[in-house]
């Protein structure tokens, strides 16, 4: 019974936010009253200050843990609801039909599949325990970061982070200086490493949901990813070596006990089969056309519904077959995924006006920003810059749609336009989408809110006792001085 309650509680954050909206819809509107979605149309008339709740939720995430940590830890969910309602209620009052459509659309099409995938990878990976006698030397740390980076594209940044973060923390438990290791872990494993497949990072998964072929990103982003990873691993190795030898001179490092341990031990390895099942369902959903169904005017594809259902099944199977001692050994708790589910529900709601304004193009309040986006380098920097703060998944989707609009393409034309060396290929769209993909995935590492796994890693590291930097501390001590110069070089070389 306890296991059932745990499973239900784990799924609730991903699903319950939709129920009040469905209830309101059924009570307030007849079936034929639903307007067609018009993100661009509504974006032309929404005032700029409709984005204030989104700014408010970002500032809350950034400042409350710093100035009112106890309040935030206890009430972050209530604060998220406050900002979401501050936008949603006036929006529903002023534009009832379109507002309900837009809110339900972003939940049904984007948020729920997004959070189900994160939940599935988080749950399954949490049953895999990697232990051994390795200690956090510069070579071992670099090797673990490298392993996690290349694992991320195939089990997701969330899956790779959950598999690798505890071995990294355990290996470095005697190190005095380990914050930099966790920050580089966020750079590489939670973000840049997920750039080679739609499974890797939420923005690419949303692109996959909108007709981008599964393996297109593998070929398109591989050179950018290899260069960036090589540079960052070299920087990390030099920095970690400096700290390591300084600690060794002052005898701060304590050698771990080596009795009754082996170099590497993996328990719960059957969860890798379930991870493969998640991968298989994602790939299948992109290859199988199961037809469409409609929920209050919102088209949903049966293959995507089947994919999401099976991911939930795989997650529940992992909970049932994995011994509790393995999750206990991993210090597994639901708090990180709860935090992500609640905060991102608010982010997805409050981001609606910004996405609508961007979709409105030159006729919307953000026309000045849109006018700047003309070349791949512009897509790279503006997508990346906004992804650092707006969350990279919906930002990717916005500039994906902007590129389509600029070139007169429709979503159904995407696979043909990306097919290189064919008569239907569109070189401009290929360049634009590559820039959007690289900017969104890479620069999601710039802040804790740029990508969902960043939150989880920060939360787990804090639970482990690591004195992680604040929101702005992470930016000014790590991402700006380390990542930004690398991203500037990437822009010069590739765009």
Write down the domain spans for the chain: 2-31+43-494
In Å, how far are 166, 167, 171, 255, 447 from 259, measured between CA atoms?
20, 18, 15, 12, 40
Residue 402 CA to residue 435 CA, distance in Å, equals: 13
Position 196 pLDDT exceeds 70 = yes
Q: Please say whether the beta carbons of 50 and 91 come within 8 A.
A: yes
**b/e sequence 31-40, b meaning 16+ C-beta within 10 Å:** eeebbebbbb
Q: Which of 174, 219, 221 is nearest to 193 (CA)?
A: 221
β pairing state of 292-295 and 265-267: unpaired
Instruction: Answer whether residue 6 shows pLDDT above 60.
Output: no
Q: Can you state the percent helix, strand and coil of the chain, rounding each to 5?
A: 75, 5, 20
Question: SS3 of 299, please?
Answer: strand
The candidate with the shortest Cα–Cα distance to 204, out of 448, 441, 495, 451, is 441
Question: Which of 107-121, 133-147, 361-375, 453-467 is the least confident region?
Answer: 361-375
39/390 Cα distance (integer angstroms): 17
CB-hemisphere CA count at 13 Å for 56? 18
Per-residue confidence (pLDDT) for residue 3, from 0 to 100: 44
- Alpha-carbon distance of 468 to 461, in angstroms, equals 7
pLDDT recorded at residue 2: 44
Q: How confident is the model at residue 490 (pLDDT cuts 50, 70, 90)?
A: very high
Among the ranges given (82-86, 420-424, 435-439, 453-457), the one the predictor scored with the smallest mean pLDDT: 420-424
- Under DSSP, is residue 129 helix (H, G, I), strand (E, B) or coil? strand
Mean pLDDT of 132-139: 76
Print burial letters for 46-73: b (CB count within 10 Å at least 16), e (below 16): beeebbebbebbbebbbebbeeeeeebe
The three-state secondary structure class of 293 is strand
Compute how many other C-beta atoms are within 10 angstroms of the C-beta atom of residue 82. Answer: 15
Under DSSP, the state recorded for 131 is E
Taking all residues of the chain, what is their mean pLDDT, rounded to a whole number?
A: 78
Q: How many angstroms separate the CA atoms of 269 and 5, rounded?
A: 25
Q: Where residue 32 falls among pLDDT bands split at 50, 70, 90?
A: very low
Residue 237 scores a pLDDT above 60: yes
Give the tens place of pLDDT for each residue, 303-338.
Answer: 888 888 999 999 999 999 888 888 887 777 787 778
In 251-365, where do the E strands start and end? 265-267, 292-295, 298-301
Using the predicted structure, report yes or no on whether residue 131 has a pLDDT greater than 50.
yes
Closest CA to 138 of 232, 245, 254, 230: 245
Among 421, 414, 465, CA closest to 436 = 414
Q: pLDDT category, 133, cuts 50, 70, 90?
A: low
DSSP three-state, residue 30: coil
C-beta of residue 91 within 8 angstroms of C-beta of residue 349: no
Structure tokens at 116: 């189900």
Residue % of the chain over a pLDDT of 90: 12
pTM listed for this prediction: 0.72
Per-residue model confidence as pLDDT tens digits over 136-193: 788 889 988 998 998 888 777 877 887 788 888 888 888 888 888 999 999 999 889 8
How many angstroms from the chain centroid is the CA of residue 416?
27
Distance CA 294, CA 190 (A): 34
pLDDT of 285 over the 80 cut: no
> At a CB cut-off of 8 Å and minimum separation 6, what does 272 contact?
128
Q: What is the pLDDT of residue 361?
A: 67
Burial class (CB in 10 A: 0-12, 13-18, 19+), 174: middle
């Amino acid at each position: 019974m306890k296991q059932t309650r745990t499973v239900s509680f784990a799924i609730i954050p991903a699903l319950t936010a939709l129920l009040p909206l469905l209830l309101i819809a059924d009570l307030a509107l007849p079936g034929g009253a639903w307007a067609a979605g018009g993100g661009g149309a509504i974006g032309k008339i929404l005032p700029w200050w409709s984005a204030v709740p989104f700014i408010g939720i970002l500032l809350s995430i950034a400042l409350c843990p710093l100035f009112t940590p106890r309040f935030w830890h206890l009430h972050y969910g209530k604060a998220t609801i406050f900002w979401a309602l501050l936008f949603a209620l006036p929006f529903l009052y002023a534009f009832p039909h379109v507002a309900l459509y837009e809110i339900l659309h972003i939940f049904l099409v984007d948020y729920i599949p997004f959070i189900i995938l994160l939940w599935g990878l988080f749950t399954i990976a949490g049953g895999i325990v990697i232990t051994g006698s390795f200690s956090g030397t510069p070579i071992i740390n670099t090797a673990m970061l490298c392993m996690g980076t290349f694992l991320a594209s195939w089990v997701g940044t969330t899956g790779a982070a959950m598999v690798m973060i505890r071995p990294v923390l355990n290996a470095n438990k005697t190190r005095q200086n380990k914050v930099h290791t966790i920050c580089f872990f966020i750079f590489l494993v939670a973000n840049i490493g997920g750039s080679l497949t739609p499974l890797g990072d939420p923005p690419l998964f949303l692109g996959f949901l909108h007709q981008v072929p599964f393996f297109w990103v593998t070929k398109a982003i591989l050179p950018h990813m290899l260069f960036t990873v090589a540079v960052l691993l070299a920087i990390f190795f030099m920095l970690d070596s400096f700290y390591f030898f300084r600690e060794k001179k002052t005898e701060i490092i304590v050698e771990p006990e080596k009795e009754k341990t082996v170099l590497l031990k993996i328990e719960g390895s059957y969860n890798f089969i379930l991870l493969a099942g998640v991968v298989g369902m994602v790939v299948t959903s992109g290859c199988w056309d199961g037809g469409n169904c409609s929920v209050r005017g919102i088209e949903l594809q049966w293959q995507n519904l089947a994919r999401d259902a099976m991911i939930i099944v795989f997650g529940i199977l992992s909970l049932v077959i994995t011994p509790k001692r393995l999750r206990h050994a991993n210090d597994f708790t639901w708090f990180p995924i709860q935090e992500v589910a609640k905060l991102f529900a608010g982010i997805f709601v409050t981001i609606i006006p910004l996405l609508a304004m961007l979709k409105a193009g030159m006729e919307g309040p953000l026309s000045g920003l849109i006018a700047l986006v003309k070349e791949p380098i512009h897509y790279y920097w503006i997508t990346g810059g906004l992804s650092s703060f707006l969350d990279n998944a919906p930002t990717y989707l916005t500039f994906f749609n902007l590129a389509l609009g600029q070139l007169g393409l429709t979503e159904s034309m995407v696979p043909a336009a990306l097919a290189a060396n064919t008569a239907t290929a569109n070189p401009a769209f290929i360049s634009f989408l590559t820039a959007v993909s690289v900017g969104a995935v890479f620069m999601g590492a710039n802040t804790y809110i740029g990508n969902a796994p960043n939150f989880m890693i920060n939360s787990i590291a804090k639970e482990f006792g690591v004195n992680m930097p604040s929101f702005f501390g992470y930016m000014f001590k790590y991402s700006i001085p380390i990542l930004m110069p690398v991203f500037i070089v990437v822009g010069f070389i590739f765009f």
